[in-house]
Amino acid sequence: MAQTSILIIYTGGTIGMVKNEKGSLVPFNFAQIYQQIPELQKLHYRIEAISFDPLIDSSDIMPEQWVEMAHIIQNRYEDFDGYVILHGSDTMSYTASALSFILGNLNKPVIITGSQLPLGELRTDGRENFINAIEIAAAKEDETPLVPEVCIYFENKLFRGNRTYKYNAENFKAFVSGNYPLLAESGVYLKFYKENILKPNFKKLKLHTQLDTGVGIIKIFPGMQASFIHSILATKGLRALVLESFGSGNAFSKDWFIDGLQTAIQKGLIIVNVTQCIGGSVEMGKYETSRRLLEIGVVSAKDMTTASALTKLMVILGEEKHNKDIIASFTRPWAGEISE
């Protein structure tokens, strides 16, 4: 049996910081990964690491970096059994969602992790996150990877990446997946919940890298002004808008609002409806306040997260021209991001 091999891709973020001789935090040198974390040798895997240059705080991550990560995976797809991406937690859910759509026919684990405290701090959560992410990326059954999807591992829990939200800026428990159960948990043992994990399709990896950023998000709130929404709807180059609505997909029924959306839709804008809640689904038509959205052609994103809806639109808009095809593709599950 060949030795299991894992590629670490360090993009930046808190996790990769260690203390130098003077006690200041500096980026970890992944070329010396075994010197920095000697315990890794006990895993008996072949581990290679590459770092982004320059390293990027995840608030500065852009679609170009998602494509870069995807190309690294594609270029080394035959060389490794799994991939661990070290990434700042701030935009981790966006990256995980985007990669789940960019990496078509993914049949290997891509485990994204980070930490709230740097690896160089005594109380770091990074060491546990990092080592478990490697173990999960390496896990196989009958020579087939156990988790062939894009995931986030954080504080003992493995989430489907495109279902997550960062909901806490301080706690080690920083992520939540309101609409999908855990894929695995680590305690004394690593416990995989196989019934929740996507099955491999054994097809050839196919990247979708033509992302179109002509998208936007608007979170409605009581007291929103007509001029505010009108100026957003008039944004040049805007092709699709994620409307973050109340509860099960409701919005104000004011005429200026509904008429404004309707005119924009008639001119070709795609508007998708995502709930502001962390859990639950959009159900347009359940209340009068969402029925009108349905009637004017707003598309339900059902239980998709905002990050998933947004990044999925970027990927689809990059490939499809006609709104009918874009909407058909958007409402179809790609990588377990929407309940069927």
Q: Which residues are catalytic?
A: 14
- Site stretch for ligand ASP (CB under 6 A), options 54-62, 204-212, 215-223, 279-287: 54-62
If the CB atoms of residues 10 and 45 are measured against ligand ASP, the closer one turns out to be: 10
- Of the two residues 39 and 170, which places its CB atom closer to ligand ASP in the complex? 170
Binding mask 93-132 for ligand ASP (x = CB under 6 A): ---------------------x------------------
Residue 40 DSSP symbol: G
The CA-CA-CA angle for residues 108, 165, 269, to 5°, reads 95
Residue 14 contacts ligand ASP per CB under 6 A: yes
Please give the residues from 292 up to 321 whose contact with ligand ASP meets the rule CB under 6 A: none
The answer to whether the CB of 311 falls within 8 A of the CB of 101 is yes
- Residue 150 CB, shortest distance to ligand ASP, in Å, is 18
Q: Report the SS3 class of residue 153.
A: strand
Query: Which one among 51, 65, 89, 93 touches ligand ASP, defined by CB under 6 A?
Result: 89
Among 81, 90, 149, 283, binds ligand ASP (CB under 6 A): 90
- Segment contacting ligand ASP by CB under 6 A, of 51-59, 194-202, 208-216, 241-249: 51-59
**CB 131 within 8 Å of CB 238:** no
User: First-to-last CA distance in the chain?
Assistant: 38
Dist CA 113 CA 243 (whole Å) = 29
What tokens appear for 295 in the block?
Answer: 């009637």
Token output for 24: 């200041």
Residue with tokens 């203390």: 19
Q: What are the backbone angles phi and psi of residue 179, rounded to the nearest 5°? A: -120, 10
Which of 57, 255 has the CB closer to ligand ASP?
57
Q: Which stretch binds ligand ASP (CB under 6 A): 9-17, 149-157, 189-197, 285-293?
A: 9-17
CB of 173 to ligand ASP, least distance (A): 13
What secondary structure does DSSP assign to 131-143, as a single string? HHHHHHHH-EETT
What region, left, alpha or beta, does residue 334 occupy, with left being phi > 0 and alpha being psi -120 to 50 degrees? Answer: alpha
Residue 250 binds to ligand ASP (criterion: CB under 6 A): no
By the rule CB under 6 A, 290 interacts with ligand ASP: no
Which residue number, 11 or 290, has a Cβ lying nearer to ligand ASP?
11
Q: Concatenate the DSSP letters of all residues of 204-222 into one string.
A: PPEE-------EEEEE--T
Our CB check for ligand ASP shows the closer of 81 and 125 to be 125
- Per CB under 6 A, the list member of 10, 13, 66, 305 interacting with ligand ASP is 13
If binding is defined by CB under 6 A, does position 164 make contact with ligand ASP? no
Quickly count: other Cβ atoms within 10 Å of residue 139's Cβ: 18
